[in-house]
Structure 1
Amino acid sequence: MSHKSTEFELVKGVNVLTGPNNSGKSAVISALQLLAELPVKEGDYMVRHGTAESSVTVETDEGDVLAWRRKGSAMSLTINGDRDIRLQNNRDHYLEKLHKHLRLPKVSGNESKQDFDIHFANQKDPIFLINEPPSRAALFFASSSDAGRLFEVRDKFKDLVKAKRKEQQSAKTTLEQQQRILAKLAPLDEIEEQMKFVQVTFKQYPKDQEALRLSTKMLQDLKIYVRQFNSITSKHQVVRELILPPELEDSDKLFQYCKALKLEVGRLSIFSNKQKALAQLEQPPELLPTNDLAKQLHDLRFAEKKGLKLEKMQATLANLNVQPEIDNTERLTCLLKALHKDSVIVARLNSQQTHYESVNSPPLLEQESNLATNLRTLHETLTRHRSLEAHVKNLLQLNNIPDFDDLPRIEQNYHLLKKLSYKRSFVFRFHRELSELQPPPQINCTFELQELLSQLKSLKKRHTAHSQRVKLGDISQIPPQPEFEEIELLEKHFKDLYLHIENVQKLKAHLQNADFELRQWVNQHPSCPTCGGDLTIQKLQGSICNGS
């Protein structure tokens, strides 16, 4: 407003503020009213033009310092150094806290929510209560006298009497409910005596139950032993009449012979299937030797490129005025012979390719899926044979039924039966645990993967060999003529560079094709056929590098 920085020191008694119009007298009253009422919805009229904030600070005789401040749309209140800026959320709480120190609150009516401001008044308003209706004046005087206080105490007493009567009625109802509950619980004394007897009996119950369980178990074991003894006795009666079986030979050799026979039968069936499939094919054409095919193709390309370079070189030399004399023509003769030889090889390869295109693809071989089933059946048969052999061996130990007086023999047979019973329970438990196991994963054919890995290894070896040949320079050079020394050096440099680039491009193409085939194979086989683990292109490339 009109005050930039103004401070007033008031004295005891009445303080009068005088001055001409528009000098800021009303601004002082408005500032005190802002601090006393803490308005939250008024505008920013109290902020001086050209400034960002305004503040009002009052220090009381008791030493309390109260400050109101507004900056932008945020208002804050500080009481003795404690600052709060959340006036919009809890204004009534801060007003009550403020007027404990400022003591300029509004006067409230007894039964009305209307407040009376007895500290501040506008300049043009009439004298206090003159322009108000008579009811409001009566309300003010009633609130300022003891009559209003008596009416308020009377109303509070009526409310208190009503609350006490409700509490008395509730207590009476609760008492009746408790009496009914006590009447229902009257037989508890008799029940308590019965519970003591039940507790004593219950403590003795586990011991009696354990003794009963042991007796039942002993009786069941005795019945089992009696049944086993009767069964063994009957078996012994039958076995005693039999002739002793011949001694068994070693069955390991028989197992090996059977295994070898199974393998031979499987191989014979595979060979017969292959023979039947091959019998349907036509006689293949005679194959020409292809051992040096790659080397000859490489030499042919090299000779063609070299011939082109020589033709360019010859055309360049023909434009010269004086044609130099060629002393040594052996190199050109060798190149022409190599070119003729390579052309013959290319023609022969073209004819071979024509024969190969007419040949049908070989038939697919059947998988040897029945081999694992046959081996498993043979293993189960051998296991059953060994079990029966051990059972017969145990039965042979019971040669004769002992007499009732022969206690050592009876004890020996008893221990033997007990041992056999333990073995039988162990075998049952072992079979039960084996039945809960999941079947092993199926092992797929890995021939394609092995073939692909061998191709990658051969490509890597060829790449290494080409790199070594490029480094060592295995092509012999003809000593250059003195006048063509610079031309020969330049030709050699470009030739080596061109060959190296060509070899690198070929190897890159081979590696890209192999990588593409490898990725396709991995996408078709996400798990390893051998171990069943996850298979990725990184793991496969790492295994190829380690294996090479």
Structure 2
Amino acid sequence: MINRIIIDNFMAHEHTELELGPGVTILTGSNNTGKSAVVEALRCLATNPARSPNPALYIRHGAKEARVEVEVDDGTRVAWVRTKRWAKYELWAPGAEEPEEYHKLQGKVPEDVARALRLDPVELETRKDLVDVHLGNQRDPVFLLNQPDSVMAEFFAASTESAHLLAMQNVLKMRVRDAKREEKGLEGQVARVAADLDRLAPLPELTLRMDGIEELDRTAARLEQEVPALEAALAEFRALDGRLSRERSAGAALQGVLAPPEVEDVGRLGRHIGSMASVEAQLGRAGRTAGALAELDAPPRAEEAAPLHRLIRELDDTGDILRAALSRRAVMTSLSEPPEPADAGGLAAVVDDLLILRARSARFTRLTEILGGIAEPPAPQPLKRLDEAVSQLGGLEEQFLLKRTELDGLEKDLSAVVAAMDERIKAVGCCPVCGGDLTTDNFLDHGCRHES
């Protein structure tokens, strides 16, 4: 059944579209409004009339060609195009994007078009002329209503067994046509799938590149794991560098300190060191006594004993200095020998120096107590390996950035390929072998597997 009629530049119609509903459609209107032209357009579509009458009569004045198109209930579209010199048919199968064209008709209707329209005239055994049971002229009724009863009886008689045979033959022809059309469509689909598979030829190379990317990713992960250790080493290097700077500053500050006097008699020094314990005990008791006597007035100074008392204190301070010198002797072994001490001069100068050394000894004792809980600084390690590690870290960072840039480019290429694959797989719709669902994800994961 015809659902839609489109007429362009045919006789009086410039452009007309008719939507036909179910059942009977009736065209009404005044004279010369184009009702008969609609019937004539359908007749031209169904019979492809020859050059007589003049085909220019079908073409609207000023146009180059006339066109009549119908759409039937199964979605098939048929168009008849007529110019002054030739005629052609266009046949769209349901869902097809491009029509199949028929040229060089020689006044005939192609079989595919006739099967799609189903408007063929009927041939009777006793009549040479074909009987049109679908279309009628303006003054001739349709379906043999103006013919004798014998003609109608012959028509109905011919439409019994022979009609069934013709119907069966038509069904067979339609099946053959559908099979050929399906075969042609499958061949085209196979060609498209082959083209798509050709486009997927770079996939092995992409797989190799992906393996390289994964290796680079593992290398990058390993480098990222090594970065904290290198950062810790760099932080330790910076701490050691700061501590070394402080030690150098302390060493520069100690350069102005006078060198200790030369130790001439080690035996005397040992004995003096042995007596230092009792002196320290006496100093402790003296300190406690001084604390108890702090509120008392100082005793009168014995002038004749004062130099001796200062000398004893200076000897005590000298003992403290000697003990400190022994503890630092391992550090100062690389130093040159101290110069020959000059003449001490007068006893008063010696006493003044001893007082100064006592004050320094007291400060040194306090510093020793404060620094007693501090561990010895670690020995500075050679900086060559750390410099090599830092330079290697810089090279690794540059290599990591380069690999990261290459990885981003490969990811963009992969995204473009996956997008193209997704577009082509969506166009295919299903697996051409098994007919199953086919998506980009399962195709990339394991392909479309088929059970034997």
Q: Is TM-score (shorter-chain normalized) higher than 0.5?
A: no
Tell me which of the two structures has the higher relative contact order, counting C-alpha pairs closer than 8 angstroms and 6 or more residues apart: 2
Give the structure with the larger helix fraction: 1
**TM, length-normalised to structure 1:** 0.25
